[in-house]
Amino acid sequence: MTLQSDGQGFVRPAPEGATLVLGCDWIVGDATGLLVLISTATPDAVTAAVATLPEEGYTCQVADDFGAQFCELPGSGPDTEEFVVARDDVWIYYAPVNRNGRAFLSDIASQIFG
């Protein structure tokens, strides 16, 4: 977790033609943090990108509370995982490290998708 920028150029799953609209990271100490990258793309590109995530090891399902695709990739160490939440023309990439950030991700998605 060393991004410490707006996420431009950071390699992560994203739809074709995606435009980064918000990139934030919060880092505490040397090994704890959260990375949030929110992008927009055409709805067709978002749908196509979600379909490729299982090939990369993600497990996807529809989230009941905000009606978006919720995809999870288990991490290689304790409390490291990656998430993608996607619906319509919005793509949220979220990576907590050594922190349970699921409630924060749910808050972000609920604010965006209602």
Q: What per-residue confidence (pLDDT) applies to 60?
A: 97
Q: Please report, for the domain that includes residue 29, its CATH number.
A: 3.30.160
Q: What per-residue confidence (pLDDT) applies to 75?
A: 83
Q: What per-residue confidence (pLDDT) applies to 29?
A: 79
14 found inside a domain: no
58 found inside a domain: yes
**pLDDT per residue as tens digits for the range 47-58:** 999 999 999 999
Domain that holds residue 66: 19-113
Q: How many domains are there within the chain? A: 1
Cα(40)–Cα(57) distance, integer angstroms: 23
49 found inside a domain: yes
Yes or no: say if 22 and 40 are a contact pair by the CB < 8 Å rule: no
Provide the whole-model pTM: 0.88
Cα(98)–Cα(101) distance, integer angstroms: 9
6 found inside a domain: no
11 found inside a domain: no
Backbone angles phi, psi at 53, to 5 degrees: -60, -40
**pLDDT per residue as tens digits for the range 50-80:** 999 999 999 999 998 889 999 999 887 657 7
Q: Which residues of the chain have pLDDT under 50?
A: 1-2
Q: What per-residue confidence (pLDDT) applies to 31?
A: 78
